[in-house]
Structure 1
Amino acid sequence: MTYEQIFLFTLLGFVFAFLVWGRIRYDLVAFSALIIAVIGGVVPMEHAFEGFGHEAVIIIALVLIVSRAMMNAGAVELVARLVISPDRPLSTHIGIMSVVGAAMSAIINNVAALVMLMTLDIEAAKKAKRAVSRSLMPLSFATILGGMITLIGTPPNIVIAQFRERALGTPFSMFDFSPVGLVCAVVGIVFVTTIGWRLLPEAGTEGTASEASDSGLFVAEAALDEKSKTMGQTPGDLMPLADEHDVTILGLVRNGKRLPGFASNEEIRASDLLVLEGDPKAIEAFIGAAELKAQGAEDHGGLRGKSLTLVEAIVPDNARIVGRTAMGLRLLYRRGVTLLGVSRQGKRFRERVRKLPILPGDVVLLLGPEARVADAAEWLGVLPLAEKSHVVVQRNKALFAIGAFGIGVAAAVAGLMPLAIALAAVVAVYALTNIVGAREVYEAVEWPVIVLLASLIPLGLALESSGGTLLIAEAILSLTGSLPTWGILALLMVVTMTLSDFLNNVATALIAAPVGLSIAQSLEVSPDPFLMGVAVAASCAFLTPIGHKNNTIIMGPGGYRFGDYWRMGLPLEILIIVVAVPSILFFWPL
């Protein structure tokens, strides 16, 4: 091997290791790798930042802004609320939600579609008095499957389309992914609707409507009011009142430290904090009944003040608060909002709520005036569950937003203008009509994903130009021996799908696409089936909660454990391979 190949393989090996490790943000890993490659001389200095102007990067950013606009205008809500009913049988409910989720994910970002539908699904679960864990994972998987139907449905499709343009002269168009994507989506939805949800474990996730509330049980802290009747009592004395409000008293915090055990017999002092566990409404009711107050509530009028709201919000992996604490961020001082409680997949913790490092998948309970909570949620990068915490929905503009988007897509499909220009024009219209504000235009973009993609594009080009992808292709071909072409395609998809379960799907697509092209060229067949296979496989990350952001988002509210994803995800991935290979070869012959 040449110096460039050895350098790039070693560097990418470290990149994959760090991405799987997950302790360092993936955008920092990718950007650092790009700089190292430039210093090492394998990426020319004049081409180092070409990825930031790449059309795929621009399209992904614009799609994210369009998704925010659709939510702001109530277009997603308008469609979803027409089909949600808690009175349907669970299989019927999952089927309808999955179809709606897949359809929405085909035209907007699948994360945005999941967040909106998840709120409605949780509400339906509460009204039907069933565990939300039964329907959240099928909904997440359905939105992932729906993204494969169109070019803009998922980032890997955009990456593959732009790679094809560079390699073969023309990109995949908007609906080139539709035949195969639609087959996979339909089969996948049928599976999760009829069989998949039955494979999910009952232990730890089954419960009543109160147990499967918006985000499960929170651990929160409450302070004594100056005139509280609780003064001088013990946590044990308060147990009957706590039971009445479905709240568990976990202990006391004194002088900044949690006392051992439940501290049931400790006399409560003026400066103590009571540690509580329960759902948000129960905690709020108990604090009022026991004449307590949320820590910091005096700064914005008290917990029961009319101007305050309690908002549950999910923490995605790219949120500002991940790995940090409310105290470290000075949340109350900077934003006038209190972090009242945290829900972590049903697990209890002994750390102070304000001093607890927040993890992806946590659900946080924010307290403050409605406007401040909404602002703080955006600043923290968390995804509010309660409808009142979302940006004000401009429902009178829903049809206008849908129409503007439809015209833009039609112009791109008709060849009147490139897709990037069409989407940019749609975003401009949304901004001029105040469907998205100037601030939201920037906040809607997931900048870590943009940096990741822009950093890996030059590395992928360098690996291809150095002959590295050809070496990988030759290694795969040597291992497959006398397998038929469809067998080699299936193997490529299995490898790509496995990588996507542990790495970002954009990174997986960038590396696997040139390998697929090299394999096709070595076999002297059309590269399109192999590129389409990479696109499908890179999107199908169902085995882990880290493979796709949607899987991370549902982990806390659904009470899922890491191993729960295998139960439904493994047979679904096998099913996708079985269905996708013949579909690809039928619609994209060799």
Structure 2
Amino acid sequence: MAIESIGLAASTLVFIVLGLTLMGFIWGRFRYDLVAVTALLVSVMLGLVPAEAAFAGFGHPAVITVAAVLVLSRGFERSGVVDVIANQVLKVGERLLLQLLVLVGTVVVLSGIMNNVGALALLLPVAMRLAREHNTAPSLLLMPLAFGSLLGGLTTLIGTPPNIIISSYRGSITGENFGMFSFSPVGIAVAAAGLAFIVLIGWRLTPKRSGQASTAEMFDTANYLVELKVTEDSKANGLTLPQLRDELEEAIPVLAVVRDDNRRAGYSFHGILQEGDILLLEAGPDELKLLEDKVGLSAIAEPESEQETQESDTADNLPAEEKPDERLPVDTEGLQLIEAVVRNDSMMNNRSVKQLRLNQQFGLHLVAVARDGSRLKQRLRDIRFQTGDVLLLQGSEKEISDSLSTLGCLPLANRELQLGKPRKLAISIGIFALAIMAMMFDLLPAAVAMSTAALVSLLIGVLPLRDGYQAIDGPVIVLLAAMLPVGEALETSGGADIIANALLSLGAEWPIFISLIGLFILTMLLSNVVNNAAAALLMAPIAASLAQGFKVSLDPFLMIVAVSASCAFLTPIGHQSNTLVLGPGGYSFGDYWKLGLPLSIVVLVVALPVIFWVWPL
């Protein structure tokens, strides 16, 4: 009796910890990796997780495999493998159904062999360019593209973290993991059905938001290009540009400085401002007033009288050497204005321009920020960036790509696709193929095979070491490593058995497949409010207890969890892919379920019969 009481107390504590953890995930005030680490440490302090096993998750094969796959995915990008495909996608033409078929079909295939977020990130700029070139509302393309990346991840072991987690969990119970293509029969059937539904019917359920494909329309940049002159009485006279920004307490971007007809880009001007200098800035009405009030900069007046206009016209007809001194248009050669979306792993999340020192450290000026498809009206210095924000940035054409990569931003426009060197491209494919063969023939475990492939890619220069480290999604790795021991505590405390027994009692008079449907729906709902990897970690022990209670095979229950954990189609927060398209597509929170709910039903209807056929009870 005392032992039962201890077990009951432990399971109750686990439920409390998990309940608070789920609330933390849903609230979103703190990043999910911080919430997961908090849950782990609290579990250790409560005695639910042994102290010596607290950080064992960081060496877990599932965590190592996920990290290795992320590195290999970045290697595919750098070697040009994906760019070869993307170049072909851009030739698709203007028919919307064909655009959808090629885009979504491509991301489905890519997501099976690389991280699904990485596959989406590579094709997102391609979709934006297609939308702009053919005047298509990007909202019709981006949500189907994001959902396609989730469907493609179902097809192989390495396609998505839940598959890796479920495979590893099966190995811990039966001694044998799922193989590289164990998920393929179910995954391919579900992905094919989902692709057909999206292309033929589903896209009609997405909102048509016009104008989001145009930078100028989203941000209205033409209204914010102004020229200001430094006068003798200006406080700006004698200041450097960093000192000017300090006086303003505002990161107003100076695109260029004109002095004696010589034009210098703002990022490369390090001198002192003088009387007569002309500054080209991106500023709105509020910023203009701030510039005039604080540093005495005023806009250059256009000719106001007919006489001034006639004098200007006369001057235009004079030979160049006889023309009076006139204000020339500012040359912004060497500067680039580009859109970028803030990724989930970006260092910009929840930080401001001042904290990031965008201009001083990265040579970037923030021009505007769009959130949920509309330009934010608050002052730039007050904005704390969020995942999915679309930024309008200006910087050096030579350095902007590296800066965006370091910051964790994905360029949405003007992405010049470049073919990798044929040798590196072939080597990259060869390394990956060898790793897959080693896994197929049980020569090496998945974690060892993928890690070896990632290491070889780094050693031979397919991917620079710095990029390899940047490719590893730190928050996801920490989430997995922290939640693995907590998930085990759910099982060892008897909490998983309690939930499974409750489901068994509810479905005692029903066929087993009704309980499987309930397991699918429960996991799917959970994955839409927490990270899909966390959903798989929490539901796997419950699925195992349920299978044990029914005294049937474990495999169909685990497959149900693997598929449903990746069905985060109902909300923008359920999966990183959904969040990435939120801003560029101009979607609202409630837009996702309109396509996501029927797509989830399609997945459920297709997945269950195939699972029963391939993995019988």
- TM-score tier by shorter-chain length is 0.7 to 0.9
User: Residue 101 in 1 paired to residue 107 in 2?
Assistant: yes
CA pair 485-258 structure 1, distance change in 2 beyond 3 A: farther
Structure of greater Rg: 2
For residue 179 of structure 2, what is the amino acid of its counterpart? S
Deviates more, 1:342-351 or 1:142-151: 342-351
For residue 316 of structure 1, what is the aligned residue in structure 2? 343
Deviates more, 1:89-98 or 1:141-150: 89-98
For residue 286 of structure 2, what is the amino acid of its counterpart? L
For residue 81 of structure 2, what is the aligned residue in structure 1? 75
For residue 397 of structure 2, what is the aligned residue in structure 1? 370
Residues 61-460 of structure 1 mapped to structure 2, 5 A cutoff: 61-202=67-208, 205-207=209-211, 211-213=212-214, 217-218=218-219, 224-226=227-229, 251-253=285-287, 256=290, 270=297, 304-386=331-413, 388=415, 394=421, 397-460=424-487
Secondary structure of 2:287 counterpart: strand
For residue 9 of structure 1, what is the aligned residue in structure 2? 15
Secondary structure of 1:81 counterpart: helix
Question: Can you give the 5+ residue segments of structure 1 that lack an aligned partner in the other structure?
Answer: 232-247, 260-267, 274-301
Superposed CA offset, 1:198-244 (max 9, x none):
11223xx034xxx523696126665533279xx9xxxxxxxxxxxxx
Counterpart among 513, 520, 533 of residue 506 in structure 1: 533
Shift of 1:341: 2.0
Distance 2:401 2:418 in 1: 7
CA pair 351-414 structure 1, distance change in 2 beyond 3 A: same
CA pair 495-468 structure 1, distance change in 2 beyond 3 A: same
Residues paired across the two proteins, number: 531
Shift of 1:391: 9.8
User: Residue 52 in 1 paired to residue 55 in 2?
Assistant: no
CA pair 82-346 structure 1, distance change in 2 beyond 3 A: closer
TM-score, L = length of structure 1: 0.85
For residue 251 of structure 1, what is the amino acid of its counterpart? P
For residue 224 of structure 1, what is the amino acid of its counterpart? E
Shift of 1:397: 2.1
Residues 547-558 of structure 1 mapped to structure 2, 5 A cutoff: 547-558=574-585
Superposed CA offset, 1:176-215 (max 9, x none):
000000010000000000000011223xx034xxx52369
Distance 2:118 2:217 in 1: 22
> Is the CA contact 2:374–2:586 (under 8 Å) kept in the aligned structure 1?
no
For residue 500 of structure 2, what is the amino acid of its counterpart? A
Shift of 1:401: 1.1
For residue 311 of structure 2, what is the aligned residue in structure 1? none
CA pair 149-23 structure 1, distance change in 2 beyond 3 A: same
For residue 546 of structure 1, what is the aligned residue in structure 2? 573
Shift of 1:307: 2.8
> Is the CA contact 1:314–1:384 (under 8 Å) kept in the aligned structure 2?
yes
> Is the CA contact 2:230–2:297 (under 8 Å) kept in the aligned structure 1?
no
Superposed CA offset, 1:107-135 (max 9, x none):
00111111111211111121212211111
> Is the CA contact 1:72–1:392 (under 8 Å) kept in the aligned structure 2?
no
User: Residue 465 in 1 paired to residue 499 in 2?
Assistant: no
Secondary structure of 1:502 counterpart: coil
Shift of 1:453: 0.4
> Is the CA contact 1:84–1:97 (under 8 Å) kept in the aligned structure 2?
no
For residue 45 of structure 2, what is the amino acid of its counterpart? I
CA pair 478-78 structure 1, distance change in 2 beyond 3 A: same
Question: Can you give the 5+ residue segments of structure 2 that lack an aligned partner in the other structure?
Answer: 1-6, 235-281, 301-328
Deviates more, 1:502-511 or 1:417-426: 417-426
Secondary structure of 2:109 counterpart: helix
Residues 455-494 of structure 1 mapped to structure 2, 5 A cutoff: 455-494=482-521
Shift of 1:545: 0.6
CA pair 565-215 structure 1, distance change in 2 beyond 3 A: farther
CA pair 352-190 structure 1, distance change in 2 beyond 3 A: same
> Is the CA contact 1:325–1:358 (under 8 Å) kept in the aligned structure 2?
yes
Secondary structure of 2:113 counterpart: coil
For residue 227 of structure 2, what is the amino acid of its counterpart? L
Superposed CA offset, 1:361-410 (max 9, x none):
11112222234323322332222224558999556522221122111111
CA pair 84-392 structure 1, distance change in 2 beyond 3 A: closer
Q: Which runs of 4+ in 1 moved over 4 A?
A: 219-223, 254-259, 387-396
Deviates more, 1:2-11 or 1:163-172: 2-11
Secondary structure of 1:2 counterpart: helix
For residue 253 of structure 1, what is the amino acid of its counterpart? E
Secondary structure of 1:341 counterpart: strand
Distance 2:136 2:174 in 1: 52
TM-score, L = length of structure 2: 0.82
For residue 244 of structure 1, what is the aligned residue in structure 2? none
Secondary structure of 1:320 counterpart: coil
Secondary structure of 2:582 counterpart: helix
User: Residue 28 in 1 paired to residue 34 in 2?
Assistant: yes
Secondary structure of 1:57 counterpart: helix
> Is the CA contact 1:160–1:531 (under 8 Å) kept in the aligned structure 2?
yes
CA pair 176-372 structure 1, distance change in 2 beyond 3 A: same
For residue 68 of structure 1, what is the amino acid of its counterpart? R
Distance 2:33 2:139 in 1: 31
Shift of 1:257: 9.6
For residue 578 of structure 1, what is the aligned residue in structure 2? 605
